[in-house]
Homo-oligomer: A and B are copies of this chain.
């Protein structure tokens, strides 16, 4: 858990209530990305999506962590938000607040790694800012992408009663295993789902704080209830049980709600797609295990990711 008395979810709620927005802001704060249309946003009449995320030493990575992996994680987190809208990353900006104790060579290594990972995912870092700090390392990455398919940007808010609830890949144990530093953002899968399911893909987001908390967010944004089956959760090897799969966080898999038939794997990458529940009328995200209902919001790790 992180330091301080700040209740981040409350602040995110404040932001989500700051409308109305000017006409070119299609979606403001509260989803994985903002959605911008027209001048300053659009790509030939299409939509641009934009997100920013940060990693802080001691919160999102351990002091002394390999800077290559720190850079990778910060880029990958923002690109995962682009993936969660079904978008394609296009360009990025980055900042580094560099601790006094960091050597110049290490700062340079970090910088070059941020650039390399941006390019790796088709998202070159076209600008940035570097400054000193008396505190821990803070790296932020703004990623901007486009939505290239007819479905448009996939929001968290479209889930409908009767939809199936699905996740890509497997869940749990991300921090313990180090996967949180090495995950693959689901860019190809997100775009493939939007292309393949079209308007049947009703809502999508990426899992950063764990299925329980993030499922609760998707349910709230859509005004529905998610009923999930603990026994159906796809788990990584070595994960002790469904509470870890739903609560460990930092999975960066896609959670989505869709109507009709959904393939059991991504046609492009082969990444597994698993049905884990159903959308109902009501509210909240409930995980049923051994006949008992658990509130998803009470599981997992709130780091404001």
Please state if A127 and B51 are interface contacts (CB–CB under 8 Å): yes
**Is A221 positioned at the interface, with any CB of B under 8 Å from its CB?**
no
B residues near A129, Cβ cutoff 8 Å: 52-54, 140, 304-305
Min Cβ gap A93→B in Å is 4
**Which of chain B's residues have a CB closer than 8 A to the CB of A148?**
39
- A303, B131: Cβ atoms closer than 8 Å: yes
Whether A290 sits at the interface, judged by CB under 8 Å, is no
- Determine if A22 is an interface residue (Cβ-Cβ < 8 Å): yes
Tell whether A282 is near chain B: CB-to-CB under 8 Å: no
Closest to A54 in B: B95
Contact digits for A101-129, partner B, Cβ 8 Å, 1 yes 0 no: 11110011001100100000000111111
Q: How many copies of this chain sit in the oligomeric assembly?
A: 2
* A91: interface (CB < 8 Å): yes
Residue in B43, B52, B112, B131 whose CB lies within 8 Å of A93: B52
Q: Which residues of chain B are within 8 angstroms of A126 by Cβ–Cβ distance?
A: 21, 25, 27-29, 34, 36, 50
Contacts of A25 in B (CB 8 A): 91, 124, 126
Taking CB atoms, residues of chain B closer than 8 Å to A305 are: 129, 131
Chain A interface SS verdict (over half): mixed
Would you call A130 and B52 a contact (CB within 8 A)? no
A48 lies within 8 A of chain B by Cβ: yes
A99 interface residue (CB < 8 Å to B): yes
Contact check: which of B4, B8, B131, B138 meets A59 at CB < 8 Å? Answer: B131
| A66 at the binding interface (Cβ < 8 Å) | no
Contact B134 A52 (CB under 8 A): no
Known: A29-B127, A135-B134. A140 touches B21 (CB 8 A): no
A182 in contact (CB, < 8 A): no
A60 to B127, CA, bound (A): 20
Q: Which residues of A contact B (CB under 8 A)?
A: 2-8, 10-12, 14-15, 18, 21-22, 24-25, 27-29, 33-34, 36, 38-46, 48, 50-54, 56, 58-60, 88, 90-91, 93-95, 97-104, 107-108, 111-112, 115, 124-136, 138, 140, 142, 144-146, 148, 303-305
List 28 interface pairs A-B (beta carbons < 8 Å), by A numbering.
Answer: A2-B132, A4-B99, A4-B102, A6-B104, A6-B130, A7-B104, A11-B104, A14-B112, A21-B126, A22-B124, A25-B91, A27-B126, A29-B125, A29-B127, A34-B91, A40-B43, A40-B146, A41-B91, A42-B44, A44-B45, A54-B131, A59-B132, A95-B140, A97-B135, A129-B305, A133-B135, A133-B138, A134-B135
